[in-house]
Amino acid sequence: MAFTISALIFFASRLSPIDPINAMVPPDMASDSANLEQLREELGLNDHIILQYLTWLKNIATGEFGYSLQSGQKISEILALRMPATLELVLSALVLSTILALTLGLFAGAKKGGIADKLSRILGVVGIAIPDFFIGLVLLNLFAFRVEWLPTGNRVAPGQVTFWDRFPNLILPVATLTIAMLAVLIRYTRNSVLDTLNRDFVKTARSKGVPEWRVLYSHVFRNSLGPVMVLLAFRLPLLVGGSILVETVFQWPGIGTTIIAAVTASDYPVIMVVSMIIAMVILVASFLVDIIKSILDPRVRLGGGN
């Protein structure tokens, strides 16, 4: 699987009409075709395409990601610089949205027609219809420009050293991403809780006289976690990919803004490495999904239940 993806990424990038040499060499040097040919030879661009693919694969596997066409920086250095920013942003939003969605979804499902239910239904409908960067723009306008409580973007301002110094910078992007992630997650949780409530074992528990909060917590909640966990695992690739739109709105120096810069500049080495890493995380995530399913539901143990 990993090989198929890597081959797809590699050959797709070769399909593009852009010659990497043109992007690397300044125009005034490009007139000397002998120099260009020598450079081509040195970079291995004249080798057979299969050989090129294998070299690239070997380099990726050994952590040699190559250089950015745009800035000439090492891609591994760019990633090391940008990855923590994205992790910080996405991880906080994932944790926050999960906690909120599970609580709200549980209450909504438990008491159909109650306040939590109405709230979560409105959030579910409206949250899906509104583009996430628009939420970001509104928050930015209100809290950063109108009342000037929070900074307008960026991760660190000059003079900020500790985490708590730059904490205000984190609030708006995380809030935006959380709201954007919340809508679908709440819908999922609510439906899953409703499904579980109709199951027989809940009736059994109730008829045994188990207190309602215990029924909700230890019977319903745990059994309705399955689909929610699967959805969460599918969101893991965001951890390395970042949210392009939210990062752009808040000028967050993460992977998302790196991708945008790379795409606008046709910086292929960067796009290839980033998409390769995302693909790997996806494979890990889908493996995790299988494990989660088997933990939560003993009926689908790996290997078909011996």
Residues that bind other proteins (CB under 8 A): 1, 5, 12-13, 15-16, 125-126, 128-134, 137-138, 140-141, 145, 152-153, 234, 237-238, 241, 244-245, 248, 259-260, 263-264, 266, 271, 274-275, 278-279, 282, 285-286
CB of 48 to other proteins, least distance (A): 22
Q: Of the two residues 1 and 161, which places its CB atom closer to other proteins in the complex? A: 1
CB of 137 to other proteins, least distance (A): 5
- Encode burial over 206-234: b for 16+ CB neighbours within 10 A, e otherwise: eeeeeeeeebbeebbbebbbbebbbbbbe
Question: How many CA atoms lie within 13 Å of 226's alpha carbon, on the beta-carbon side?
Answer: 17
Q: Of the two residues 236 and 296, which places its CB atom closer to other proteins in the complex? A: 236
CB of 30 to other proteins, least distance (A): 22
Q: Of the two residues 97 and 275, which places its CB atom closer to other proteins in the complex? A: 275
Using CA atoms, how far apart are residues 128 and 217, in angstroms rounded to an integer?
Answer: 28
Residues 6 or more apart in contact with residue 121 via CB below 8 angstroms: 108, 190
Q: Tell me the chain's radius of gyration from C-alpha atoms.
A: 24
CB of 254 to other proteins, least distance (A): 13
Structure tokens given for 116:
């939590």
CB of 287 to other proteins, least distance (A): 12
Task: Let me know the angle formed at the C-alpha of 90 by 133 and 97, rounded to the nearest 5 degrees.
Answer: 80
Instruction: Decide: 151 and 63 in contact? Cβ < 8 Å.
Output: no
Q: Which residues pair with 137 in a beta bridge?
A: none
Q: Of the two residues 36 and 288, which places its CB atom closer to other proteins in the complex? A: 288
CB of 164 to other proteins, least distance (A): 25
Q: Of the two residues 184 and 210, which places its CB atom closer to other proteins in the complex? A: 184
Using CA atoms, how far apart are residues 55 and 6, in angstroms rounded to an integer?
Answer: 12
CB of 271 to other proteins, least distance (A): 6
Q: Of the two residues 23 and 36, which places its CB atom closer to other proteins in the complex? A: 23
Q: Of the two residues 109 and 153, which places its CB atom closer to other proteins in the complex? A: 153
Structure tokens given for 104:
């709200």
- Closest to 267 in 3D by CA, of 129, 113, 70, 90: 70
